[in-house]
């Protein structure tokens, strides 16, 4: 196993072994996701070395593959989950309740029902809420366990406006109302343990000023909460109000989210993690709580590639169109965020004859003009039957895959200790249509979501 000091701070697409990837396509088919678990572990160790004084949670939404969760948990990461399904995956990967945070954003009733049931068996589970409504809904279900409040500090950053969460009204309670909300929650019997916020996803080096300002606001809020504790004895009001103020602090942790970006373009430099860590600690200042961070992309992005077969090469008016069997249903980031992913022709790299480099548009099979991975990019002249590798596909790749056009989702392979193994089988059209057949056959599964309980009447909803 490679020591973190000997591993590169970023793994470029050119560093992957072309022959090994070609062999994987030959064995497992295309499209195919590949995730290198050793690289995932290296990325964790690098970040843990930069933040030795912080608790590190992995943001499961980046890549929820069970093998990835198990590897990161073995390295020492806790698991931050955005849904009940992710919590179930985290527990199945071996995490205990004390290592799992459920961060609810307008949580569906089914999720809350399942979470409260899971809490009874895992009382150290932490639930992070972003609204007073969610606190009410938890109380209605009998939950009075560990509660963290997500706050909105009014500042965001990230690689695209759609992922800049820190200032978006959807996320969190306005920071100026946080102390009041915490006091009320404590007064109602909740075990208030922390505050949380997340500036956005894919924060780059040129956005570190925004990140620093965001962290500073979280530090200010943490000290405000502590001040509320110290001032509780001199406050007027009932004894219950004073006890509520005391119950708010000291907080166990201040969670400043993740968002650490990775370089997708070949000429981009990686983040200087030591500088980021120093700036984070300096901006946070002295607090009577533990710093918590929850990266996702940083651990898995450059540990994954997507392999795809070329099925069509067409000379168009202004470009050469290279048709592949992966599309926006397989990797939606280019279509959704106009995201750049490096592309490499593995077959050309293995070809003894050097190919001319020409501008090419790599497009998928989906009936949408936005279904392209790149436009007019300089690549070795592509031929039908070639295999392309799309880099930095380990984060938000398979997790955002879908079945549009009734296309089954791809298979996933993991690399570990020099071996490859199938981690997730390829879907079939039968998998896509199975729910319809079950409904037509009178199955009751349409009244439930997997193994999660049916919708509770607590939220005045009815199952239809």
Whose tokens are 């007019």? That residue is 376
Helices (H), 141-287: 178-187, 208-230, 239-248, 273-284
20 is an annotated ligand-binding site residue? no
C-alpha to C-alpha distance for 56 and 47, rounded to whole angstroms: 9
Q: Please tell me whether 368 is known to bind a ligand.
A: yes
Distance CA 262, CA 12 (A): 11
Separation CA 198–CA 292 (nearest Å):
11
Per-residue exposure over 25-34, b if at least 16 CB sit within 10 Å of its own CB, e if not: beebebbbbb
Q: How many helices (H) and strands (E) does the chain have?
A: 14, 18
Burial class (CB in 10 A: 0-12, 13-18, 19+), 142: exposed
- Name residues whose C-beta falls within 8 Å of residue 301's C-beta, 6 or more positions apart in sequence: 62, 262, 264, 392, 393, 394, 395
How far the first Cα of the chain sits from its last, in Å, is 53
- Tokens 């997708």 belong to 264
Select from 305, 227, 223 the least CA-distant residue to 32. Answer: 305
Is 148 considered catalytic here? Answer: no
Q: Tell whether residue 296 is among the known ligand binding residues.
A: yes
Residue 33 tokens, joined: 């996701």
Strands 100-103 and 78-81: parallel
- Of 166, 170, 195, nearest to 182 (Cα)? 195
Helix locations, 29-151, DSSP H: 37-50, 66-75, 84-92, 109-121, 132-140
Using the Cα atoms of residue 97, residue 303, residue 27 and residue 325 in order, give the sign of their dihedral: positive
Helix (H) or strand (E) holding 81: strand 78-81
- The answer to whether residues 160 and 338 touch, using CB atoms and an 8 Å cutoff, is yes
DSSP conformational letter for 15 = G
Strand partners, 345: 388
Task: Given the residues 81, 148, 367, 374, select the one marked as catalytic.
Answer: 367
- 322: tokens are 């290279």
Determine if residue 259 is labeled as part of a ligand binding site. yes
Strand-pair category, 387-390 with 343-345: antiparallel
Which residues does the annotation place in the binding site for pyridoxal 5'-phosphate?
259, 294-297, 396
Which residues does the annotation place in the binding site?
259, 294-297, 333, 337, 368, 396
Residue numbers annotated as active site: 367
Which residues does the annotation place in the binding site for substrate?
297, 333, 337, 368, 396
């Amino acid at each position: 196993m490679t020591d973190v000091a000997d591993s590169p701070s970023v793994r470029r697409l050119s560093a992957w072994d072309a022959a090994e990837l070609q062999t994987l396509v030959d064995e497992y088919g295309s499209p195919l996701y590949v995730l290198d678990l050793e690289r995932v572990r290296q990325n964790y160790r690098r970040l843990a070395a930069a933040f030795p004084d912080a608790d590190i949670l992995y943001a499961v939404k980046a890549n929820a593959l069970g093998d990835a969760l198990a590897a990161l948990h073995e390295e020492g990461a806790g698991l931050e989950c955005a849904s009940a399904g992710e919590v179930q995956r985290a527990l199945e990967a071996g995490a205990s309740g004390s290592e799992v945070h459920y961060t609810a954003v307008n949580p569906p009733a089914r999720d809350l029902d399942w979470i409260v049931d899971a809490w009874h068996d895992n009382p150290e589970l932490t639930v992070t809420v972003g609204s007073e409504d969610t606190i009410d809904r938890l109380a209605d279900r009998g939950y009075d366990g560990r509660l963290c409040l997500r706050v909105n500090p009014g500042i965001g950053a990230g690689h695209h406006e759609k992922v800049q969460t820190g200032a978006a009204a959807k996320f969190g309670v306005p920071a100026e109302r946080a102390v009041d909300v915490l006091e009320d929650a404590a007064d109602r019997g909740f075990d208030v343990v922390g505050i949380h916020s997340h500036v956005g996803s894919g924060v780059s080096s040129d956005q570190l000023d925004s990140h620093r300002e965001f962290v500073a606001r979280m530090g200010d809020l943490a000290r405000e909460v502590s001040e509320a504790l110290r001032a509780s004895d001199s406050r007027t009001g009932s004894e219950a109000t004073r006890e509520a103020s005391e119950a708010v602090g000291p907080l166990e942790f201040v969670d400043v989210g993740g968002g650490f970006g990775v370089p997708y373009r070949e000429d981009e430099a990686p983040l200087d993690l030591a500088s980021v860590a120093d700036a984070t600690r300096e901006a946070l200042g002295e607090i009577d709580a533990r710093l918590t961070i929850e990266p996702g992309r940083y651990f898995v992005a450059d540990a994954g590639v997507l392999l795809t077969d070329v099925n069509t090469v067409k000379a168009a008016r202004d470009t050469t169109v290279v048709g592949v069997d992966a599309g926006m249903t397989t990797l939606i980031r280019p279509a959704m965020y106009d995201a750049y992913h490096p592309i490499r022709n593995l077959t050309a790299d293995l070809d003894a004859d050097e190919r001319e480099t020409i501008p090419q548009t790599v497009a998928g099979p989906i009936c949408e003009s936005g279904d392209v991975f790149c436009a007019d990019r300089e690549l070795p002249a592509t031929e039908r039957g070639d295999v392309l590798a799309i880099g930095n596909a380990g984060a938000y790749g398979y997790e955002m895959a879908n079945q549009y056009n009734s296309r089954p989702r791809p298979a996933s392979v993991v690399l570990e200790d020099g071996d490859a193994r199938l981690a997730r089988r390829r879907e079939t059209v039968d998998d896509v249509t199975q729910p319809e057949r079950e409904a037509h056959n009178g199955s009751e599964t349409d009244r439930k979501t997997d193994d999660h309980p049916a919708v509770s009447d607590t939220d005045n909803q009815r199952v239809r």
